[in-house]
Chains A and B, each alone.
Chain A
Amino acid sequence: MSIYGNAVKRPITTIMIFVALLVMGGYSLNKLPIDFYPDIDFPAISVITTYAGASAADIETNVTRTIEDGLNSVGNLKNITSTSRDNMSIVVCEFEWGTNLDEASNEMRDGISFIETFLPEEVEKPMLFKFSSSAMPVLFYGVTADESFEAIANILDEKVVNPLNRIDGVGSVGLMGAPGREIQVDIDPRKMESYNISVEMIAGVLNAENLNLPAGNLEMGMMDYPLRVKGEFPSSDVLDDIVLASFNGQTVYLSDVATVRDTIRDTSLDERLNGKTGMRIVIQKQSGANTVQVCQDINAMMPELIKSLPDDIEITTFWDSSLFISESINNLSNTLMYAAIAVVLVVLFFLGRWRATFIVILTIPISLIVSFIYLYISGSSINIIALSSLSIAIGMVVDDAIVVLENITKHVERGARPREAAIYATNEVWLAVIVTTLTVVAVFLPLTLIGGMTGELFRPLGYIVTITVVTSTISAITLTPMLASKMMKLRKKPEKVRAISYDNIIGRFLNSLDGFYSRTLKLALRFRWGTLIIAFVIFLLSMMMAGGMGFQFMPEADQGSMTAAIELQTGLRVDETTKVARKIDAFIEENMPEAKFYYTSSGSDDQGGFMSLFMETGSHRININFTLTDLETRNRNVWDLSNMLTEYLETIPEIVTFDVVPNGGMGGTTENNVVLEIYGYDFETTSLIANALADSVSTIEGATNVNVSRDPSKPQLQIVPDREKMAQHGLNTYTLANSVRNRVEGPYMSRYREEGEEYDIVVRFVEEERSSLSNLNDIALMNMQNQVIRLGEVADIEEHWSPPNIERKNRERMVTVSITPYKVPLSVMAEQVQAKINQMDIPSDVNLQMGGAVEDMQESMKDLMLLLLLSLILTYLVMASQFESLKMPFIIMFSIPFAFTGVVLAHVVTGTTMNVISMVGGVMLVGIVVKNAIVLVDYINLTRARGVELKEAIVESGKSRLRPVLMTSLTTILAMLPLALSTGSGSEIWSPMGIAVIGGLIFSTIVTLVLVPVVYHMMLRKSDARKVKTEYDFMNGTGEGNPENN
């Protein structure tokens, strides 16, 4: 017995199976995490190596190059880039998308172990760092305080950080910009020298005093006592009374030569929240934890924690990644609901019966919920790609059920019992239903095969649509007939048509529509060539329009955040930098009410911290992070604001360069920028070219944020020892370097302990004695004979300029110029930049290449073209086997180019630019559009086979198939409409797909209804005439097979 026969005969089993699906789907839905994008991690692994004291150039030759050589043979490697900075080398291996990063990191470890022996001895072990988007902070809190500020780190640690750490899914909670306690011993060099003491001696004494040591066991009587010497400083006050030496019979205490201060760390970092002193609490989630859930839990706990804090401490949510995610997801869920309502209305409109509509729309929840099971099993999440896939699928899942139900209705109306009608009617159409589904699958399944980032993003889309559509087909041939057999009734024709009824209003309207269409079709068939030429001209015009349109890579969403990285004159002191920062703060306060929070940090945290991996800090840098108010409440979008800030920053003379990134910050989308990569060994030549290029491209209209990646050279003071003089005084470079370091930076010291916490003790010259060149020259060096020699006597101090960073890509030195287009499509900007390059005179040993989003865009385009080709071939294969004809698929595919015409027109009408997302929409159209034409052509074939003459068959079939074609098109179009129209958070990303599909579908439906019949007529007219002369004409003795004719 067939599957549908069984389904009808065993209704309970059928219902149970589908209820089981619903239960499993519901369970999965409940368990699924919510995220913005599917879990895609940028496939890159960095190798970080530190080599203390080496300059950028040293690092490049000794460390970076060696490591690059070792890593070059790792499989699947796409690019290898590196940055060599003072003290540090960072090599980043970028892999092809979809590479297994665990295997790759193993290979990298092998590669490194092979070259490790070639690295200089002082180099620390290279560290592998796998960048993962789940390591990005999910939540930032801003903290401001007045009197409690000095102790804030301890208060927060105890009252906030620890409780938060206990929440499930919280990876780490960090404090940024918190003042740390430190014991400072500021030495007065004059006093110190007069007692004949050196810094090293003081450090030695302090280290030797600040000790707790075990001293063995003492057995006394029956007891065994462990012995301990307790010398650790019980409080910071005792430092003053430490005896350093004896001078002329007099005891010298530490307080005689230095001031001891128990104070907060001398930071070179100034952090302000909305212009007030503040700090940040940074929260990371555990890898794999649900961002939205974690943030919700934290936010729920926070008010209670805040209550336990002193009154002057204020904590505000500065940035919450879950907000944008949950808003976008809510938005899309609403979209999905509107889509479902639209589909229900369309079905009801065309069928005009509640029961039938109910049976048909029941396929929607069933097919959609199966995709949640898929998401759960594949370990994915509910994200915008998954939800927009459902939006696309929702209009298609009802199609099969409609076809089956229509045929059942036909049988019931002819008098069959619903049970039988259900079985036999399904038997008649089930194969056709499966084949049309196959054409859709032929388009969506290849989506899972494409590579690159587009592939990573759209793989779920391919799977989800395939799964939902296949489920809907299965449901259409099991559940639909089963329900029809139970619910359908023979409807008696009402004797009198009521004035307000379905038949009188909608029925009449549909009938007149049928009439209008058949007249149009007759006209088109009479003027076949005219119709064809008009269609062709429209297509050509639209393609010309497409040529003039710009392309973007990914549509950018206004995520309500923005960052600005500002760089002043290199080597500038923090106080000076802070002054500029305050000026910018004032500007923001006055002119940008849209900034809900802004966080300004100038200088760098000497404690380093993980944030230095994400942004560059330095005494001359200012970083500002903005959180904007809700999208709905502001008139200016993030791009307008960033442009305004850019214009303001250009007016500040102190600023050397700056980079304002709209949507920057944590987990932002890919930026649409053009990056020019300039390769060449010589720093001067490449820097010159880079700067010249930057100047010339900034004149292009819409080019903003033009940035050269190589920082201007940094001033450096070099102490050049005179070896001969040193030798005369019994000194060497090592003692000289150490002495200078101990006086300026401070020697290694033991730490002060209090209540389980450790604090640094810093012993060095008082600040006034280490802030000028003459101070340096005055530094006293002591030789073995305890003679004092001034530094100025044995060394010269020179000022030098050195590049602070050296970038390399694929083992060649590189400098990049990046340009962010504002209100200009990416492809247009790329063309203009290329034109500027062509005007320039580039030396032969310098290489130029276009990178950034442009490169990604071109790669994605290539992938998508390949995908389009693959989809076209597959649909042709499916259709050719369905019709058992090579000609029919060709006729049907005539509607495809016009789908693209529709896509172009839709973009022109809505004033949006094409991007990768709308192109994916275009590829999907192939499957959706073809389905309509199949319905029509199949029915024309059928009518002709039943003996109707060609032209009449076309008109009759057209009239009879108008409603199903309109119905399938309208369900898809209306289901996508909420997607295209939505304006909420994140809508910029998915609305292009809705626009593309709607435009393409409207246009191609019209074409399908008019042009496809015309082409059908033109292609089959001749073959029809030929049929008359049949091979089997043996009765008349005239046929080919007649021996008399041969």
Chain B
Amino acid sequence: MKAVFIVYNQAQTEKVEYLFEKLKIRGFTRWTDLTGRGSVDGPPHMNTHTWPEQNTARMAVMEDETVKAVLEGIKKLDEENTDVGIRAFVWDIVDYY
């Protein structure tokens, strides 16, 4: 089991939802109206007058084999327009209830 943490420009919400639906991932946790900045480039999403955009984050715990499909989808999504911004990070799940 792995946890996938996806942070993305909130303007991508519907596309991420579509991805989850396509891959039949049911469970997730979502945080909305987040701020942050990428480590390399791209505009910060700070919810300020200067950088008005905002992020949404989504954490989903899934079987190991699904993770690859998710990351592939995210990569495709990002390549549509790298300025908009989406990233995914994967954790190992050690134990769960």
Residue with the greatest number of chain B CB neighbours at <10 A, chosen from A419, A421, A432, A942: A942
Cβ 8 A contact of B50, one of A421, A425, A946:
A946
Take A414-B84, A415-B80, A416-B84 as given contacts and tell me if A945 and B14 are in contact as well, using a CB distance cutoff of 8 Å: no
* Further contacts, 10 of them, CB under 8 A, given A419-B14, A942-B50: A414-B83, A417-B11, A417-B15, A420-B11, A420-B12, A424-B54, A428-B52, A428-B53, A945-B49, A946-B50
Take A414-B83, A415-B80, A415-B84 as given contacts and tell me if A424 and B50 are in contact as well, using a CB distance cutoff of 8 Å: no
Residues of A within 8 A of B54 (CB): 424, 427
Cβ 8 A contact of B12, one of A416, A429, A941:
A416
Q: In the bound complex, do residue B53 and residue A417 qualify as a contact, i.e. CB atoms below 8 Å apart? A: no
Residue of A nearest to B81 (CB): A415
Tell me, in angstroms, the Cα distance from A292 to B51 when the chains sit together: 57
Tell me, in angstroms, the Cα distance from A420 to B83 when the chains sit together: 16
Chain B: how many interface residues by the 8 Å CB criterion?
16
**Beta-carbon contacts of B69-86 to A below 8 Å, as 1s and 0s?**
000000000001101100
Cβ 8 A contact of A424, one of B49, B53, B81:
B53
**Chain A stretch 386-429: residues in CB contact (< 8 A) with chain B:** 411, 414-417, 419-421, 424-425, 427-429
Residues of B within 8 A of A429 (CB): 52
The secondary structure that dominates the A interface is: helix
- Some 29 contacts from A to B, beta carbons below 8 A apart, are A414-B81, A414-B83, A414-B84, A415-B80, A415-B84, A416-B11, A416-B12, A417-B11, A417-B14, A417-B15, A420-B10, A420-B11, A420-B12, A420-B13, A420-B14, A421-B11, A424-B10, A424-B54, A425-B11, A427-B52, A427-B54, A428-B52, A428-B53, A432-B49, A941-B49, A942-B50, A945-B49, A945-B50, A946-B50
Tell me, in angstroms, the Cα distance from A414 to B84 when the chains sit together: 7
Residues of B within 8 A of A942 (CB): 49-50
Residue of B nearest to A432 (CB): B49
Residues of A within 8 A of B12 (CB): 416, 420
Residues of A within 8 A of B10 (CB): 420, 424
Residues of B within 8 A of A425 (CB): 11
Q: Measured between C-beta atoms, what is the minimum distance from A832 to chain B in Å?
A: 57
Tell me, in angstroms, the Cα distance from A411 to B13 when the chains sit together: 13
Q: In the bound complex, do residue B11 and residue A411 qualify as a contact, i.e. CB atoms below 8 Å apart? A: yes
Tell me, in angstroms, the Cα distance from A941 to B12 when the chains sit together: 28
Residues of A within 8 A of B14 (CB): 417, 419-420
Tell me, in angstroms, the Cα distance from A345 to B72 when the chains sit together: 46
Tell me, in angstroms, the Cα distance from A493 to B81 when the chains sit together: 15
Q: Measured between C-beta atoms, what is the minimum distance from A818 to chain B in Å?
A: 60
**Nearest 7 CB-CB pairings of A with B:** A428-B52, A945-B50, A416-B11, A415-B81, A415-B80, A424-B11, A420-B11
Tell me, in angstroms, the Cα distance from A414 to B50 when the chains sit together: 19
Tell me, in angstroms, the Cα distance from A445 to B8 when the chains sit together: 43
User: What size tier do the contact residues of chain A reach?
Assistant: 10 to 19
Q: Measured between C-beta atoms, what is the minimum distance from B10 to chain A in Å?
A: 6
Residue of B nearest to A416 (CB): B11
Q: Measured between C-beta atoms, what is the minimum distance from B80 to chain A in Å?
A: 5
**Beta-carbon contacts of B45-79 to A below 8 Å, as 1s and 0s?**
00001111110000000000000000000000000
Q: What is the interface of chain B, defined by CB distance below 8 A to chain A?
A: 10-15, 49-54, 80-81, 83-84
Residues of A within 8 A of B83 (CB): 414
The secondary structure that dominates the B interface is: loop
Q: In the bound complex, do residue B81 and residue A946 qualify as a contact, i.e. CB atoms below 8 Å apart? A: no
Residue of A nearest to B11 (CB): A416
Q: Measured between C-beta atoms, what is the minimum distance from A975 to chain B in Å?
A: 30
Residue of A nearest to B44 (CB): A946
**Beta-carbon contacts of A424-460 to B below 8 Å, as 1s and 0s?**
1101110010000000000000000000000000000
Residue of B nearest to A413 (CB): B81
Tell me, in angstroms, the Cα distance from A415 to B86 when the chains sit together: 13
Tell me, in angstroms, the Cα distance from A417 to B13 when the chains sit together: 9
Residues of B within 8 A of A419 (CB): 14
Residue of A nearest to B77 (CB): A415
Q: Measured between C-beta atoms, what is the minimum distance from B77 to chain A in Å?
A: 9
Residues of B within 8 A of A432 (CB): 49
Tell me, in angstroms, the Cα distance from A419 to B14 when the chains sit together: 9
Tell me, in angstroms, the Cα distance from A411 to B81 when the chains sit together: 11
Residue with the greatest number of chain B CB neighbours at <10 A, chosen from A414, A421, A429: A414
Tell me, in angstroms, the Cα distance from A419 to B12 when the chains sit together: 11
Tell me, in angstroms, the Cα distance from A451 to B52 when the chains sit together: 44
Tell me, in angstroms, the Cα distance from A230 to B80 when the chains sit together: 112
Residue of A nearest to B49 (CB): A942
Residue of B nearest to A884 (CB): B49
Tell me, in angstroms, the Cα distance from A420 to B12 when the chains sit together: 8
Tell me, in angstroms, the Cα distance from A519 to B49 when the chains sit together: 28
Residues of B within 8 A of A414 (CB): 11, 81, 83-84
Tell me, in angstroms, the Cα distance from A429 to B11 when the chains sit together: 15
Residues of A within 8 A of B51 (CB): 946
Residue of B nearest to A411 (CB): B11
Q: Measured between C-beta atoms, what is the minimum distance from B35 to chain A in Å?
A: 13
Tell me, in angstroms, the Cα distance from A189 to B53 when the chains sit together: 109
Q: Measured between C-beta atoms, what is the minimum distance from B28 to chain A in Å?
A: 18
Q: Measured between C-beta atoms, what is the minimum distance from B53 to chain A in Å?
A: 7
Q: Measured between C-beta atoms, what is the minimum distance from A937 to chain B in Å?
A: 12
Tell me, in angstroms, the Cα distance from A425 to B9 when the chains sit together: 12
Residue of A nearest to B50 (CB): A945
Residue of A nearest to B13 (CB): A420
Tell me, in angstroms, the Cα distance from A130 to B74 when the chains sit together: 80
Residue of A nearest to B80 (CB): A415
Tell me, in angstroms, the Cα distance from A411 to B84 when the chains sit together: 9
Tell me, in angstroms, the Cα distance from A416 to B86 when the chains sit together: 12
Residues of A within 8 A of B15 (CB): 417
**Chain A stretch 939-962: residues in CB contact (< 8 A) with chain B:** 941-942, 945-946
Q: Measured between C-beta atoms, what is the minimum distance from A947 to chain B in Å?
A: 9
Tell me, in angstroms, the Cα distance from A428 to B46 when the chains sit together: 11
Residue of B nearest to A428 (CB): B52
Tell me, in angstroms, the Cα distance from A421 to B15 when the chains sit together: 12
Tell me, in angstroms, the Cα distance from A108 to B2 when the chains sit together: 91
Tell me, in angstroms, the Cα distance from A628 to B16 when the chains sit together: 75
Residues of A within 8 A of B50 (CB): 942, 945-946
Tell me, in angstroms, the Cα distance from A946 to B15 when the chains sit together: 28
Q: Measured between C-beta atoms, what is the minimum distance from B38 to chain A in Å?
A: 15
Residues of A within 8 A of B13 (CB): 420
**Beta-carbon contacts of A31-59 to B below 8 Å, as 1s and 0s?**
00000000000000000000000000000
Residue with the greatest number of chain B CB neighbours at <10 A, chosen from A414, A416, A432, A942: A416
Residue of A nearest to B84 (CB): A414
Residue of A nearest to B83 (CB): A414
Residue of B nearest to A407 (CB): B52
Residue of A nearest to B48 (CB): A945
Residues of B within 8 A of A421 (CB): 11
Q: Measured between C-beta atoms, what is the minimum distance from B76 to chain A in Å?
A: 12
Q: Measured between C-beta atoms, what is the minimum distance from B22 to chain A in Å?
A: 15
Tell me, in angstroms, the Cα distance from A76 to B78 when the chains sit together: 73
Q: Measured between C-beta atoms, what is the minimum distance from A806 to chain B in Å?
A: 71
Residues of B within 8 A of A945 (CB): 49-50
Q: Measured between C-beta atoms, what is the minimum distance from B47 to chain A in Å?
A: 9
Tell me, in angstroms, the Cα distance from A416 to B15 when the chains sit together: 9
Residues of B within 8 A of A941 (CB): 49
Tell me, in angstroms, the Cα distance from A419 to B15 when the chains sit together: 11
Residues of A within 8 A of B11 (CB): 411, 414, 416-417, 420-421, 424-425
Q: Measured between C-beta atoms, what is the minimum distance from B45 to chain A in Å?
A: 11
Tell me, in angstroms, the Cα distance from A429 to B52 when the chains sit together: 8
Q: Measured between C-beta atoms, what is the minimum distance from B14 to chain A in Å?
A: 5
Residue with the greatest number of chain A CB neighbours at <10 A, chosen from B12, B15, B52, B84: B52
Tell me, in angstroms, the Cα distance from A428 to B84 when the chains sit together: 15
Residue of B nearest to A412 (CB): B11
Residue of A nearest to B52 (CB): A428
Residue of B nearest to A429 (CB): B52
Tell me, in angstroms, the Cα distance from A180 to B52 when the chains sit together: 85
Residue of A nearest to B51 (CB): A946
Tell me, in angstroms, the Cα distance from A415 to B12 when the chains sit together: 9
Residue of B nearest to A938 (CB): B49
Tell me, in angstroms, the Cα distance from A419 to B50 when the chains sit together: 23
Q: Measured between C-beta atoms, what is the minimum distance from A332 to chain B in Å?
A: 41
